[in-house]
Amino acid sequence: MRIAIIGAGAAGCFCAAQLRKWRPEWAVTVFEAGPKPLAKVAITGGGRCNLTNDFQGIRSLAEAYPRGERVMKRALKAFSQEDTIAWFQARGVPCVLQADHCWFPRSQDAMDIVHALLNAMKGVDLRLKSPVVSVEGPEVCSASANNIADATSEQTSVPVKDLAETTAGKGPKVCSASAKNIADATAGKGPKVCSASAKNIADATAEHTSGPWHVNGEAFDAVVITTGGAARGLPFLEGLGLEMVPPVPSLFTFTVPDPGLRSLMGLVVEAVIGLQGTAFKAEGPLLITDWGLSGPAALKLSSYAARHLAESGYKGNLSINWLNANENEVRALLQKSALDNPQKLVSSTHLLQARLWSHLLDKAGLRKDIRWAELGSKGLNRLTATLTSDSYPLSGKSRFREEFVTAGGVALSNIDLNTLECKRHPGLFFAGEVLDIDAITGGFNLQAAWSTGYVVARAITATLSARV
């Protein structure tokens, strides 16, 4: 059996590793357009690789996965966060759990994760610098010989039989595919494509099993798409009639053109941040930066409101509750301070960090020398409002480190949620961020890659083994 995996990211490589484990006699080929496998894994978590999360404090999966929680509920039952840690530790990567519920390799080096995956992929045909220009099902394989020859004329074919050869920079051989050879390879057009109607699904499946898929003109028994967040789309799938959800950025920080706020750069506050006029909000550490706001709370909000923010052009107003408490609770706290310290300066009480407290008193319109006894009901109301619903204009987004996550992709309506196989095209599978699945920061996106990659490998193993 021959399996093609398109994309050498976390989901693709994990799927390949599992296929090699379960059916080492099968030929698994991974196509990667870039020069290195697992490039994103190598830089995730600031180069430390936050490989998963313990999910403590997550009340529902929708909190971690704003899009795709139904798929993830099934996928996590198949391969959980505990399974992830056990998998890597069994392959020589000790892991540690941090206080923020994030799992990292004990070495704090993402390359340990990369090496473990590549070692598990020994025997896989890893083709670097190999962009895919066509994926065609059993009905037609009519890829342009010239286009494929151009795309593959300098592709790099790497049998992953030796990690040292893969990572030490020993240049793999360059294969040159002639247009004639590829045209010959595509001459055997398989049977008609599967129809998804309930009436003829059995016949369609029978037709499918007798003919191959083709990737760049090569025949395969199954194809797995793991290209990650494809912001530019997936042109090689356009002829398959799949429903796509337009991709938009997720996990980004906020640009706030407020000099007073920016002057507080470096401060971290446990707060609640939301978008005014919407129900979107997130709580957690909020970091003030020289361009605006970052930290887990801001990143979670960007994930929850990803599509709304894209549609609004990343403009609007942010609301911050600096004390993570409701108005009645904050008003009671202020009244107690006034009763306990009537002659004390409000500016010297410091219910928050001194610089932030001073900034908020200014925003509330209070004098620096005002005392608690002088605050009065109006001053108390203004200060309460500022502490619980402080408003700042949002003028744009900024990228979070070197990481980039998208919301959108292949619509889940196309997919069997139990196997991640395409309903209309048996033999075509999807895993990872190419699906309309994305998560908040904290290791949840990588867990989605491991879990969905596992589910696909399991489904392919079961389906193709039944043919043997």
Where are the domains positioned within the chain?
2-248+403-465, 252-399
Helix, strand or coil, per DSSP, at residue 217: coil
- d(CA 246, CA 329) in angstroms, rounded, equals 42
Contact call for residues 324 and 278 (beta carbons, < 8 A): no
Instruction: Strands of 132-237 (E only): list them.
Output: 135-136, 155-160, 174-175, 213-215, 218-220, 222-225
* Residue 290 in tokens: 């020289």
Per-residue tens of pLDDT for the chain, all 468 residues = 999 999 999 999 999 999 999 999 999 999 999 999 999 999 988 899 999 999 998 999 999 999 999 999 999 999 999 999 999 999 999 999 999 999 999 999 999 999 999 999 999 999 999 999 999 988 644 444 344 444 444 455 555 544 434 333 333 333 333 333 333 333 333 333 333 333 333 343 333 344 699 999 999 999 999 998 765 678 898 889 999 999 899 999 999 999 999 999 999 999 999 999 999 999 999 999 999 999 999 999 999 999 999 999 999 999 999 999 999 999 999 999 999 999 999 999 989 999 999 999 999 999 999 999 999 999 999 999 999 999 999 999 986 554 468 899 999 999 999 999 999 999 999 999 999 999 999 999 999 999 999 999 999 999 999 987
User: In the CATH hierarchy, which top-level class contains the domain 2-248+403-465?
Assistant: alpha beta
The CB-side HSE value for 102 (13 A sphere, CA atoms) comes to 18
**Nearest residue to 53 via CA among 72, 39, 37:** 72
Classify strands 281-288 and 124-128 as parallel, antiparallel or unpaired.
unpaired
CA dist., res. 349 & res. 366, Å (int): 14
